[in-house]
Amino acid sequence: MQSQPEHITCLIIGSGPAGYTAAIYAARADLKPVLYTGLTPGGQLTETTEVDNFPGYPKGITGPILMEDLKAQAERFGTQVRFGMVTEADLNANPKRIWVDETTEITADTVVISTGASAKWLGLENETRLRMNAGGVSACAVCDGFFFKGLDVAIVGAGDTAAEEATYLSKLCKKVYMIVRRGEGEMRASKAMQHRVMNTPNIEILWDSETSDVLGKETVEGVIVKNSKTGESKTLNVTGFFVAIGHKPNTDIFKGQLTMDDLGYLQVVPGSSKTNIDGVFAVGDCADKTYRQAVTAAGSGCMGALDAERYLASAGVH
């Protein structure tokens, strides 16, 4: 057992673009940050092959290499990057008390939370296989829609996000099939978004439908859809399959301490990364249900580090 918990000036929880950017800024401010990666070092981008929309890479870059670059840059300035999962936190304590992997206790003057969000999936075996092998299954139309320019794709979902992504895809793709589990008139999306989808000629809504399987050996070659009312199944000849049934922010361990919305996204003071607890800051997708892009996450990571630095200065700690 530890006799005395290790004390850290700036603790960063999570290793996506937000976490590593926070680490770069915090390290350059001499806050000597320690970053715990979580179970997926690099976050969601490690499951993405081509990244064409992150500034500074005119020829594009793969997600894993981008994250390794960000990690190396953070370490260059002195960030300690550690593999480990934060499993418990007492953020109301002074200093903050954090437990890693359920056993190691540390204390911190400031905490930057960048735990991200996880996309929800249908759970189909082929969906998982093709997603993990970069075979044309995606949860982000803005990220990956460009690769299907002029092609036919399918998207599953019925909320505002699904409607927005279907509309986005319609501008790039020849045909967009929107697979909706509910019946006509029962779509969860706002009326404005429903009208936009229904008035887009190359979007075809398949009501009362569920995805039975995703076809293809190395890449998506089709999707089998079953109508829940008629029992009829048909194959959609598509090369891309987008899942837009929501994201779950990775914030469960902070429930009861940090202010969240009804979906679990951390709420911050507008124009900052400040949470309802002094010295605790939230950045990246765990506090952003609107944009969810690598570049916006990185920008908020910068904000988190600057807010932490200013907090420490005002508290006379740094």
Instruction: Please give the positions annotated as active site.
Output: 140, 143-144
Q: Are 156 and 244 in contact (CB under 8 A)?
A: yes
**Percentages helix, strand, coil for the chain, rounded to the nearest 5?**
30, 25, 45
136 alpha carbon, distance to own chain's centre: 18
To 5 degrees, how large is the angle CA 81–CA 66–CA 77?
40
- Which of these, 205, 214, 204, 218, lies nearest to 235 by C-alpha position? 214
Within 8 A by CB and 6+ apart from 134, the residues are 48, 49, 50
| 254 φ/ψ angles, rounded to the nearest 5 degrees | -100, 5
The alpha carbons of the chain give a radius of gyration, in whole angstroms, of 21
Compute how many other C-beta atoms are within 10 angstroms of the C-beta atom of residue 117. Answer: 24
Q: Helix, strand, or coil here: 194?
A: helix
Q: Which amino acid is at 300?
A: S
Within 8 A by CB and 6+ apart from 299, the residues are 21
Compute how many other C-beta atoms are within 10 angstroms of the C-beta atom of residue 161. Answer: 21
- Which of these, 269, 279, 276, 278, lies nearest to 300 by C-alpha position? 269
> What count of residues does the chain have?
318
Compute how many other C-beta atoms are within 10 angstroms of the C-beta atom of residue 310. Answer: 14
Tell me how far apart the alpha carbons of residues 233 and 210 are, in angstroms, rounded to a whole number.
9
